[in-house]
């Protein structure tokens, strides 16, 4: 890469951060407000149609943000792994008057189905909102926004370093596991055989990671990590824009209306 | 402000603790992943929580648990309802660490009972309170089957979860014990509960005057 | 002023059986490049840690004697101020990356962020070290996915971007090939010309002989030789502590042993080149 290319990279850091998409560029805090308000709407409703509609809206937002397909995969997996089981268990086990399908000792009742739909869509609207938030807002951006409102950079460090440590440690563990296999240590076979593979793989890998914290601490200290003064940041996260502010206010209004409506039984 | 209190707390807990927390979290995840990879019938996803609790103290351990569940919730939000368990593992491990439980293998093994009680009994309670006894997870199908056989829903939850947690915590605490045995002294001296495992009081305990007090 | 003055210094790591430093008397001047050599476990890293204040603020143990850094006793320094004043890069490149940044550019900026440097200045300083180190090609790479050598350069860049008046460097080239090592040494020399003081522990004696102003030889925790590079490296005693003298010095000695000594024992490649050119010139003259 030429010096010009470096200058271009440098220039990008001078500009306010943009991900080139209006939804992605919404300030993380406004995003928290917006998604929370939608979840509240879903939960305030007594039925299952509203939460289901909100869940669908989440998918729509993900598509607007350009993260549609991957979000859809995540959320469908959740619907299958969590939603379906929650629904099936309730439909089967919640006792009711109106028997739809008798199944020996238990029976599927209308009450069970209604209860199941209600509970499942409520849980799923929360799942949908949380996963949407993290599909749209990167951890780095979120932490940057939190640092702006006074959260300590140490908190950021712990969160961001955790993700990296999971990646690094996972990779090392797999390398060691493969090496064990190559050396003929059994990782298949019965439970005890497999369990015996677990210890020698993991204990040394974990120990090395722990020991490395010593040098990490020195390295971070050399980067003024313990400097008491105000920290600045290279990434230029736009402060709340007018759009963001409107979104926050709107969210508050919508959430308040939904709670009132829920109490008064509007929907 | 909460964050500055957090910062003070991190300092008070020694300078390595803040670097141990991410490692503890990674250990939770990787332990869980490898257990899945080896198709072991246990979770092994709280090794890091107990390890950090046992070596750095209850609060750091609790943080490891909390953040681990938080990260899991990003893709599987219902997990967060059980964060309190992982937090409790951390706090308890801190207490056990302080009183020297992890110094001997048999005491370590005995600690399985309280850990499994938290995981199994309190886990079942959360399932009952938050999900009306019908949560998802490893035990859900078992719970369903037990109820179908006529067992009361609450009893089914306890019956399904307690044994599973005992099975999980035995290898968990054993690996924690093995790791602590392997931590070099040079690292132990820098961990808040390291002195517990170093045995005799440090012959060179003379701390430099400026060590803890001035680090901002 | 004196960068570091050590008088009768000994240090034993907490719970260690053996002392790591014993009876060290050493004075290092400001504005120079000080090389530290010695066998493995001879105490080079420990000495660097001490000058940087990592001992005793981070590594506890039993410190005796007197350590004065830039005119102030080590224990009187505020640890945060000391780490701002003395930059340091340690040898294991895998622990010298923060692990919390997504591009090399951001990684190099991290120290500046923590120092509160304004964004525009930060960007300029990062750009400038990127150019100095010739790592333009990797500025957009993820630092957590680099090779050891690349990480070593990035770690080094992060520290020089912070522009501390003193830099302590422990084997910065352990993962680098000869050309890249030479480039790093040139940068270190550049730092010196900008008025920085440098303490550099290194195994590559040829490069140290070339660039360092003074050499300290360590053996089993003590300083066995210290002085201007020429005096130390050119001395007959130098090889006695297991450190291999530079190739050209060896060459000079062999020639002397063969009864054809050079006018002056070379310690740098350029000197050897000159001496030998003179010799060749003379012999062609004689024809
Ligand atoms: N953090 C530490 N805690 C305890 N002992 C240590 C520590 N660091 C080094 N030592 C010990 O101190 C002695 C001197 O080691 P040091 O690392 O200073 O040598 P070195 O010259 O840098 O060696 P190398 O060339 O291998 O880097 C060794 O016996 C080593 O085991
Ligand atoms: Mg060393």
Q: Each residue of C27-46: pLDDT tens digit?
A: 999 999 999 999 999 999 99
| Chain C residue nearest residue B184, CA to CA | C15
Q: How far is C81 from chain A (nearest CA, A)?
A: 8
Mean pLDDT of the region C158-176 = 92
Per-residue pLDDT tens digits for B90-117: 999 999 999 999 999 999 999 999 999 9
Atom of ligand 1 nearest to the CA of C203: 25
Best residue among C13, C50, C88 to mutate for probing ligand 1's pocket (most ligand atoms within 8 Å of CB) is: C13
Which DSSP letter does residue A97 get? S
Q: What are the backbone angles phi and psi of residue C147, rounded to the nearest 5°?
A: -75, 165
CB atoms within 10 A of CB C141: 17
Q: What percent of chain C has pLDDT over 70?
A: 98
Better-predicted residue by pLDDT, C104 or C279 = C104
**Once rounded to an integer, what is the mean pLDDT over residues C123-149?**
93
Alpha-carbon gap: A267 to the closest alpha carbon of chain B (Å): 23
Nearest CA residue ID for atom 25, ligand 1:
C40
Count residue pairs from B and C with Cβ separation < 8 A: 52
Q: Does B44 touch chain A (CB under 8 A)?
A: yes
Q: Chain C contacts of B190, Cβ < 8 Å? A: 58, 60
Beta strand C214-219 pairing with C33-38:
parallel
Q: Would you write out chain A's pLDDT as a tens digit for each of its 267 residues?
A: 566 888 999 999 999 988 889 999 999 999 999 999 999 999 998 889 999 999 999 999 999 999 999 999 999 998 988 888 888 877 877 777 777 777 776 778 888 888 889 989 999 999 999 999 999 999 999 999 999 888 888 999 999 999 999 999 999 999 988 888 888 777 677 777 777 777 777 889 999 999 999 999 999 999 999 888 888 999 999 888 899 999 999 999 999 999 998 888 777
- The closest CB to that of C115, out of A161, A219, A227, belongs to A227
- Cβ–Cβ below 8 Å for B189 and C76: no
Instruction: Write out chain B residues lying below 8 Å of C57, CB-based.
Output: 208, 210-211, 215
Question: B204 and C57: CB-CB below 8 Å?
Answer: no
Tens-place pLDDT, residues A134-168? 999 999 999 999 998 888 889 999 999 999 999 99
Higher pLDDT, C160 or A183: C160
B215 and C15 in contact by Cβ < 8 A? no
C13 at interface of B, judged by CB pairs closer than 8 A: yes
Which protein residue's CA is at the shortest distance from atom 26 of ligand 1? C40
Task: Pull the structure tokens for residue B183.
Answer: 């931590």
Ligand 1 atom at shortest distance from the alpha carbon of C13: 4
- C62 shares contact with chain B (CB less than 8 Å): yes
Average pLDDT, chain A: 88
- Residues lining ligand 1, judged by CB closer than 6 Å? B 186; C 13, 16, 20, 38, 40-46, 59
pLDDT at B85: 94
Which residues of chain C lie closer than 8 angstroms to A227, CB-CB? 80, 83-84, 114-116
Nearest-ligand number for the alpha carbon of C90: 2
DSSP state of B201: P
pTM value? 0.90
The complex's ipTM? 0.89
Q: How far is C119 from chain A, CA to nearest CA, in Å?
A: 6
Closest atom of ligand 1 to CA, residue C43: 18
Instruction: Please report, for chain C, the start and end positions of each structural domain, with discontinuous segments joined by +.
Output: 2-245, 246-287
Ligand 1 pocket test, pick from C41, C61, C95 with the greatest ligand atom count within 8 Å of Cβ, gives: C41
| Residue B8 confidence (pLDDT) | 45
How many Å lie between the centroid of ligand 1 and the Cα of residue B33? 35
pLDDT score, position B134:
63
Q: How confident is the model at residue C265 (pLDDT cuts 50, 70, 90)?
A: confident
Shortest alpha-carbon distance between residue C279 and chain A (Å): 44
* CA contacts within 13 A on the Cβ side of C203: 12
Coil/strand/helix, residue A245:
helix
Q: Which ligand is nearest the CA of C39, by number?
A: 1
**Best residue in B7, B14, B20, B210 to probe C by mutation, most C CBs within 10 Å?**
B210
How high is the pLDDT of residue A5? Answer: 84
Q: CA A52, CA A59: separation in Å to the nearest integer?
A: 11
Domain parsing of chain A, residue ranges: 21-137, 145-222
Cβ separation of C88 and A157 shorter than 8 Å?
Answer: no
B75 vs A: CB within 8 A:
yes
- Tokens coding C116: 């509160």
Nearest atom, ligand 1, residue C49 CA: 18
The superfamily in CATH containing domain C2-245 is P-loop containing nucleotide triphosphate hydrolases (3.40.50.300)
Beta bridge partners of C266: none
Specify the pLDDT at position C287. Answer: 54
Which chain C residue has its CA at the smallest distance from A171's CA? Answer: C145
Number of helical (H) and strand (E) elements in chain A, helices listed first: 11, 2
- Decide: A86 and A45 in contact? Cβ < 8 Å: no
Q: What is the pLDDT of residue B114?
A: 95
pLDDT at C136 over 80: yes
Show the 3-state SS of chain C.
Answer: CEEEEEEEEEEEECCCCCCCEEEEEEEEECCCEEEEEECCCCCHHHHHHHHHCHHHHCCCEEEEEEEEECCEEHHHCCHHHHHHHEEEECCCHHHCCCCCCCCHHHHHHHHHHHHCCCHHHHHHHHHHHHHHHCCHHHCCCCHHHCCHHHHHHHHHHHHHHCCCCEEEEECCCCCCCHHHHHHHHHHHHHHHHCCCEEEEECCCHHHHHHHCCEEEEEECCEEEEEEEHHHHHHCHHHHHHCCCCCHHHHHHHHHHHCCCCCCCCCCCHHHHHHHHHHHHHHHHHHC
pLDDT of residue B107: 95
Write out residues in chain B with pLDDT < 70, as ranges: 1-14, 132-140, 200-216
pLDDT of residue A107: 76
Strands (E) across A33-166 are located at 99-103, 106-109
Dihedral sign from CA coordinates of A63, A67, A73, A76? negative
Tell me: the pLDDT tens digits for A31-69?
999 999 999 999 998 889 999 999 999 999 999 999 999
The one-character DSSP state at B31 is: H
A220 contacts B40? CB cut-off 8 A: no
pLDDT exceeds cutoff 70 at C206: yes
pLDDT, position B208: 44
List, in order, residues 6 or more apart from A53 with CB less than 8 Å away: none
- How far does residue C45's CA lie from ligand 2's centre (Å)? 4
- d(CA A234, CA A14) in angstroms, rounded, equals 8
């Amino acid at each position: 890469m030429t010096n010009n290319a470096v200058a271009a990279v440098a220039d990008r850091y001078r500009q306010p951060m943009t991900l080139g998409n209006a939804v992605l560029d919404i300030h993380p805090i406004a995003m928290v407000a917006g998604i929370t308000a939608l979840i509240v709407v879903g939960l305030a409703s007594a039925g299952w149609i509203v939460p289901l509609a909100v869940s669908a809206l989440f998918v729509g937002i993900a598509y607007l943000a350009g993260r549609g397909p991957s979000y859809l995969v995540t959320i469908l997996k959740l619907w299958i792994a969590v939603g379906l089981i929650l629904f099936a268990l309730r439909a089967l086990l919640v006792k009711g008057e109106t028997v739809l399908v008798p199944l020996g000792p238990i029976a599927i009742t209308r009450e069970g189905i209604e209860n199941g739909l209600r509970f499942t869509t409520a849980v799923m609207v929360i799942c949908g909102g949380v996963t949407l938030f993290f599909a749209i807002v990167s951890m780095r951006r979120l932490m940057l926004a939190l640092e702006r409102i006074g959260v300590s950079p140490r908190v950021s460090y712990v969160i961001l370093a955790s993700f990296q440590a999971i990646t690094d440690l996972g990779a090392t563990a797999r390398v060691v596991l493969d090496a064990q296999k190559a050396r003929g240590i059994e990782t298949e076979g019965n439970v005890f055989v497999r369990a015996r593979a677990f210890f020698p793989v993991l204990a040394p890998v974990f120990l090395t990671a722990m020991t490395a914290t010593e040098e990490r601490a020195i390295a971070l200290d050399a980067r003024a990590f313990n400097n008491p003064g105000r920290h600045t940041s290279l990434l230029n996260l736009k402060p709340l824009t007018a759009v963001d502010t409107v979104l926050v206010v709107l969210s508050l209004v919508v959430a308040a209306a939904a709670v009132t409506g829920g109490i008064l039984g509007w929907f | 402000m909460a964050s500055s209190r957090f910062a003070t707390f991190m300092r008070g807990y020694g300078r390595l603790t803040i670097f141990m927390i991410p490692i503890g979290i990674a250990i939770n995840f990787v332990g869980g992943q490898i257990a899945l990879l080896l198709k072991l019938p246990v979770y092994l996803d709280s090794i890091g929580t107990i390890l950090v609790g046992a070596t750095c103290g209850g609060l750091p351990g609790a943080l490891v648990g909390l953040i681990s569940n938080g990260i899991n919730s990003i893709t599987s939000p219902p997990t967060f309802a059980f964060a309190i368990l992982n937090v409790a593992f951390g706090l308890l491990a801190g207490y056990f660490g302080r009183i020297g439980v992890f110094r001997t293998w048999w005491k370590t093994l005995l600690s399985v009972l309280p850990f499994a009680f938290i995981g199994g009994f309190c886990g079942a309670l959360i399932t009952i309170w938050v999900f009306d006894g019908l949560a998802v997870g490893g035990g859900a199908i078992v719970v369903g089957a037990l109820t179908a056989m006529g067992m009361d829903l609450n009893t089914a939850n306890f019956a399904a979860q307690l044994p599973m947690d005992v099975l999980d915590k035995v290898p968990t605490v054993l690996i924690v014990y093995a790791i602590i045995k392997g931590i070099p002294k040079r690292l132990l001296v820098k961990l808040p509960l390291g002195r517990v495992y170093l045995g005799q009081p440090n012959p060179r305990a003379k701390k430099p005057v400026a060590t803890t007090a001035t680090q901002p | 002023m004196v960068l570091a003055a050590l008088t009768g210094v000994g240090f034993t790591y907490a719970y260690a059986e053996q002392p790591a430093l014993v009876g060290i008397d050493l004075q290092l001047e400001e504005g120079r490049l000080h090389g530290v050599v010695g066998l493995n476990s001879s105490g080079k890293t420990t000495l660097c840690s001490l000058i940087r204040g990592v001992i005793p603020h981070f590594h506890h143990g039993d410190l005796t004697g007197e350590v004065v850094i830039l005119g102030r006793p080590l224990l009187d320094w505020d640890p945060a101020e000391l780490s701002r004043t003395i930059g340091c890069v340690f040898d294991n490149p895998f622990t010298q990356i923060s692990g919390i940044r997504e591009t090399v550019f951001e990684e190099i900026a991290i120290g500046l962020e923590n120092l509160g440097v304004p964004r525009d200045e930060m960007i300029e300083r990062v750009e400038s070290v990127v150019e100095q180190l010739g790592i333009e090609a990797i500025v957009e790479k993820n630092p957590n996915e680099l090779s050891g050598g690349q990480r070593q350069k990035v770690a080094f860049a992060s520290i020089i971007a912070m522009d501390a008046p003193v830099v302590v460097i422990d084997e910065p080239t352990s993962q680098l090939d000869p050309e890249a090592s030479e480039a790093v040494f040139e940068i270190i020399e550049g730092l010196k010309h900008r008025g920085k003081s440098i303490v550099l522990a290194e195994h590559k004696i040829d490069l140290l002989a070339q660039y360092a102003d003074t050499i300290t030889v360590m053996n089993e925790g003590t300083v066995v030789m210290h002085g201007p590079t020429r005096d130390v490296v050119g001395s007959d005693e130098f090889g006695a502590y297991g450190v291999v003298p530079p190739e050209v010095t060896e060459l000079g000695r062999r020639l002397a042993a063969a009864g054809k000594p050079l006018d002056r024992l070379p310690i740098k490649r350029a000197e050897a080149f000159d001496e030998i050119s003179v010799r060749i010139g003379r012999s062609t003259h004689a024809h």
